[in-house]
Structure 1
Amino acid sequence: MSLTDAPLGHHVAYPAQYDPALLFPIERAANRTALGLNAAKPLPFHGADIWTAYELSWLNAKGKPLVAMAVFTIPADSPRLIESKSFKLYLNSFNQTRLDDESTLRERLARDLGAAVGAPVRLDLIAPRDFARQTIAELDGTDLDALDVAIETYQPAPELLRHAAGSRDTEVIEETLVSRLLKSNCPVTGQPDWASVQIRYRGRAIDRESLLKYIVSFREHAGFHEHCVEQIHTDIMRACAPSELTVYARYTRRGGLDINPWRSNVPHASVGGVRTARQ
């Protein structure tokens, strides 16, 4: 199947009952090949795609609606990702479905999503009693967005990336930089996708103005969230060769779902589950 077969960009009737066939997986290999990553070799990064579902509901055995939020963590080394509209349709297929208990919901979600992506998927359900504990925060790090830069390029331009003037290979720093100016477009519908991005690295200093220009260069790029983060990680590694690099993006939600991919070459690296104000 190709993207033309996906529900994204097409009028699709909302399902009346649970239907795992609604999930539309997309192979990751094509995008990674385009980045010059060798499918026969181990990935140069690890990480995950963290999905937050804000619109999850089902019926209990008596027909009473129940609601929850859910966080799904899909490993970056899974062979497939899930097209977002199909994910939304799948979750909505539970709306009028009676389930005996919450464990049945968990079992179906874990089974169906794992089968779609080809790897185990972590599931965390957030019950209404815990809604008040959900907090809003911003990604930590030095904000790049106040830099006074002239922008001329709105397609990914890795040639913009460079080391800071006067920096030397022998001068190793560690820093975390953030921007709220990452924007790309859906490759099927052309709709804008907005994100905050955090770049944490160790190595020779990266020129901050060039990094901000590079982030903004995605503004007219057509690419899925996961693909954009992998491209950013790959481009920075090639241009600036940090010994450690973690790239984490928090995208604003669409259709009750947000997608938050991260990629890192740091063993055992992880990222926090911060939810930003725009999410």
Structure 2
Amino acid sequence: MTPDQSPLGKEVVYTEQYDPLLLFPIDRKTARDAIGIGARLPFFGTDIWNAYELSWLNRRGKPQIAVATFFVPAESPNIVESKSFKLYLGSFAQTAFDSIDDVRAAIKRDVSAICGVNVSVQLAAPGDFGKLQMEEFDGLSLDRLDLDTDVYSPDPSLLKATHDEAPVDETLFSNLLKSNCPVTGQPDWGSVQIRYYGGQIDHAGLLRYVISYRGHTGFHEQCVERIFMDIMRECQPERLAVYARYTRRGGLDINPFRTNFNLPMPDNARLARQ
């Protein structure tokens, strides 16, 4: 299915009765074909979704709330279109469930079916809210650089690396990532962390490259995979990991992580802007 067939950017009727048919899949293959990613993925990783607007009723009619986290493997054939996800989660609002475990089981079953792989689902009840973490990316901030730029469409030629010196192991980040929804044109604000081992990447060029997404339209997952592929092609690091955290919209934030070497799973700590 394609985004124009989804509820994204269209008037919809909001339902508060549980309805798994609201979920709308978008295949990853089309966007990956466009940037030269074949059937054998050059990375592995996950998309971490956090949902802050989940509520349902217990059997006595009392509203219950939770913060939901979803881990969608990068190898899944589909992603879930975000507005359909919001509508789906909203459909729990006036539906009674026996327990929070039953809610989690229903969500896991439905989202896994749409994505085509087993999706891990965690629900944090109010008693656990105080355990949810908040921190900022570690590494060296690219945003410290004072520079000029006028490129607002992704331009891989901005990326340069030095290969006649000893390789470096660096972690860099920027809070200046912005792209746009491919259907509505609404802005998607984010931060990106880039960890690599290889020839020194030019910091100014990398920051200009991150900024160049400012006029780009693409889903969060697609943007991160394009950043990964462009850095690999232009800078040729031996190891590379790209992790982006986008600010929430409609009660959802999406945080794709891609790497070609073994790293611990990101801890899903929320950034201040999220």
Provide, for residues 57-99 of structure 1, a one-character-per-residue CA deviation record: whole Å limited to 9, x for no partner: 0001111110010110000000000000000000010000001
Alignment of 1:186-201 (within 5 A): 186-201=181-196
Counterpart residue identity of residue 37, structure 1: I
Counterpart residue identity of residue 114, structure 1: S
Q: Which moved more, 1:83-92 or 1:263-272?
A: 263-272
Alignment of 1:241-260 (within 5 A): 241-260=236-255
> Considering only aligned residues, what root-mean-square deviation do their CA atoms show, in Å?
1.0
> Which residue number corresponds to residue 26 of structure 1?
26
Q: CA deviation at 1:100?
A: 1.2
> Which residue number corresponds to residue 233 of structure 2?
238
Q: CA deviation at 1:269?
A: 4.5
Counterpart residue identity of residue 58, structure 2: N
* Secondary structure of the corresponding residue to residue 143 of structure 2: coil
State the distance in 2 between where 1:272 and 1:232 align.
21
Size of the aligned set, in residue pairs, is: 274
> Which residue number corresponds to residue 211 of structure 2?
216
Provide, for residues 252-274 of structure 1, a one-character-per-residue CA deviation record: whole Å limited to 9, x for no partner: 00000000001000135422212
> Which residue number corresponds to residue 107 of structure 2?
109
State the distance in 1 between where 2:3 and 2:173 align.
32
Q: CA deviation at 1:246?
A: 0.4
Provide, for residues 25-63 of structure 1, a one-character-per-residue CA deviation record: whole Å limited to 9, x for no partner: 000000000011123xx1000011100000110001111
2:67 to 66, 69, 77: 69
State the distance in 2 between where 1:62 and 1:269 align.
42
Is the CA contact (8 Å cut-off) linking 2:132 and 2:269 kept in structure 1?
A: no
Q: CA deviation at 1:17?
A: 0.5
Q: Which moved more, 1:87-96 or 1:259-268?
A: 259-268
State the distance in 2 between where 1:241 and 1:146 align.
25
Is the CA contact (8 Å cut-off) linking 1:139 and 1:274 kept in structure 2?
A: no
Counterpart residue identity of residue 266, structure 2: V
TM-score by length of 2: 0.98
State the distance in 1 between where 2:206 and 2:165 align.
21
Moved over 3 A (4+): 167-170
Alignment of 1:1-279 (within 5 A): 1-39=1-39, 42-163=40-161, 167-169=162-164, 171-279=166-274
* Secondary structure of the corresponding residue to residue 218 of structure 1: helix
* Secondary structure of the corresponding residue to residue 72 of structure 2: strand
TM-score by length of 1: 0.96
Q: CA deviation at 1:5?
A: 1.6
Give the gaps of 5 or more residues in structure 1: none
* Secondary structure of the corresponding residue to residue 33 of structure 1: helix
Q: CA deviation at 1:209?
A: 0.2
Give the gaps of 5 or more residues in structure 2: none
State the distance in 2 between where 1:226 and 1:70 align.
19
Counterpart residue identity of residue 203, structure 1: G
